Amino acid sequence: MLSIKNLHALAGEKQVLNGLDLEVGAGEVHAIMGPNGSGKSTLAQVLAGREGYTVTGGTVTYKGKNLLELSPEDRAREGVFLAFQYPVEIPGVNNVYLLKAGLNAIRKHRGESEMDAFEFLTLIREKMKLMQMDESFLNRGVNEGFSGGEKKRNEILQMSVLEPSLALLDETDSGLDIDALRVVAAGVNSLRSPERAIVLVTHYQRLLDYIEPDHVHVLSGGRIIKSGDKSLALELEKRGYDWVKQEAAA
């Protein structure tokens, strides 16, 4: 589904990604771990098409298309979803507008008809229940005045409404208490399916207790320096990152 080859990228002026390779297949859950500054968030931003990040080399192929040529909205419409590390507060644009406009733009792109108000509300109510969110959230400004946990839950709510093919979660576990982490993890797990790929970018192993990955990668210096299964995450938790770096340097 996603094939990244020899990706080089700048964040602003700074070279952050230095030849990153990653293959993600449908139905798989990948965890990308690494110390601060290793390039985890840059990877997520580059894949979502954020301005200020410049690809200087390599290719990213998504469902057979050159992902890097697509605008952020076209990536979203093709099924790429990024759950933000720091979801943006947008007073005056309400959550229900964003969900409906996003969903209908994606449906239109797929050649489907727009959802009517009743269908839409039924869908939203069901998803909100899963995320244990109160319906009053719908008419509030996007993330406006939300706590850290509420913002992350809102990201997963959006994801479950938009039903992406490729879900990228950027440090979704950061700032969550254990109850919120369980709710968020349940939301993500409910989206696991043979047609969908999930990439978790995380600093800590904790999230992986709740969302079990098929593959774990260590990102360091802008490249993947080691890959393994979920046991690699446990080992990193115990031993830190230095031994992997030394192994890679050797």
Partner 1 sequence: MSTVAAKNTVSPLERYKMAFESRWQGNDELTALRHAALEQFLSAGFPTQRDEAWKYTNLRRLESRSFTPAETSALDAHQPEWLATAGTRIVLVNGHCLPALSSQVAQPPGVTVLTFKQWIEHEPAAVAAYLKEQDQLTGNALEQLNLAFFEDGVVVNLADNTILDEPVYIVHQSTSSAAQRMSHPRIVVRAGRNARATIIEHYLGANDAEYFTNAVTRFDIAAGGAVKHFRVQQESPRAFHIGHVQTKLAKDARFSIHDIALGASLGRSGITALLEGTGAHAALFGLFAPMGNQHLDAHTRLDHIAAHTTSEEDYRGIAGGRARGVFNGKVIVRPDAQKIDARQSSRNLLLSPTAEIDTKPELEIYANDVKCSHGATTGQLDATALFYLRSRGLSESDARAALIRAFAESILATIDLEPVHAALEKQIDERFKLVNEAKA
The residue among 232, 250, 230 whose CA lies nearest residue 241 is 232
Q: Of the candidates 76, 219, 225, 244, which one interacts with partner 1 according to CB under 8 A?
A: 76
Please pick, from the candidates 73, 126, 177, 242, the single residue that binds partner 1 as defined by CB under 8 A.
Answer: 73
The pair of three-digit structure tokens given for residue 104, joined into one six-digit string:
């209908």
Residues 196 and 30 sit within 8 Å (Cβ to Cβ): no
Residue 166 in contact with residue 81, Cβ under 8 Å? yes
Q: How far is the CB of 149 from partner 1 (least distance, A)?
A: 18
To partner 1, the closest distance from the beta carbon of 108 in angstroms equals 9
Q: Does 82 bind partner 1 (CB under 8 A)?
A: yes
Applying CB under 8 A, which part among 1-9, 23-31, 72-80, 230-238 lies near partner 1?
A: 72-80
CA distance 116 to 16: 44
Site string for partner 1, 23-62 (x = CB under 8 A): -------------------------xxxx-----------
> Nearest CA to 89 among 136, 147, 164?
147
Per CB under 8 A, which region of 14-22, 25-33, 82-90, 185-193 contacts partner 1? 82-90
How many residues does this entry show for the chain? 250
H helix count then E strand count, the chain: 8, 12
Based on the shown chain and the rule CB under 8 A, indicate whether residue 71 belongs to the binding site for partner 1. yes
Query: Can you tell me the distance from the alpha carbon of 217 to that of 233, in angstroms, rounded to the nearest whole number?
Result: 8
List of residues 6+ apart from 11 with CB closer than 8 A: 42, 45, 52, 53
Q: Token pair for residue 153?
A: 């839950």
- In the three-class reduction of DSSP (H, G, I as helix; E, B as strand; rest coil), residue 72 is classed as helix
Question: Closer to partner 1 at the Cβ: 108 or 239?
Answer: 108
Candidate residues 46, 138, 180, 201; the one interacting with partner 1 per rule CB under 8 A: 138
Q: How many CA atoms lie within 13 A of 233 on its CB side?
A: 24
> Site mask, partner 1, residues 160-189, x = CB under 8 A?
--x---------------------------
Site string for partner 1, 83-122 (x = CB under 8 A): -x--xx-xxxx--xxx-xxxxxxx--x-------x--xx-
Binding site for partner 1 (CB under 8 A): 48-51, 71-73, 75-77, 81-82, 84, 87-88, 90-93, 96-98, 100-106, 109, 117, 120-121, 124, 138, 141-142, 158, 162
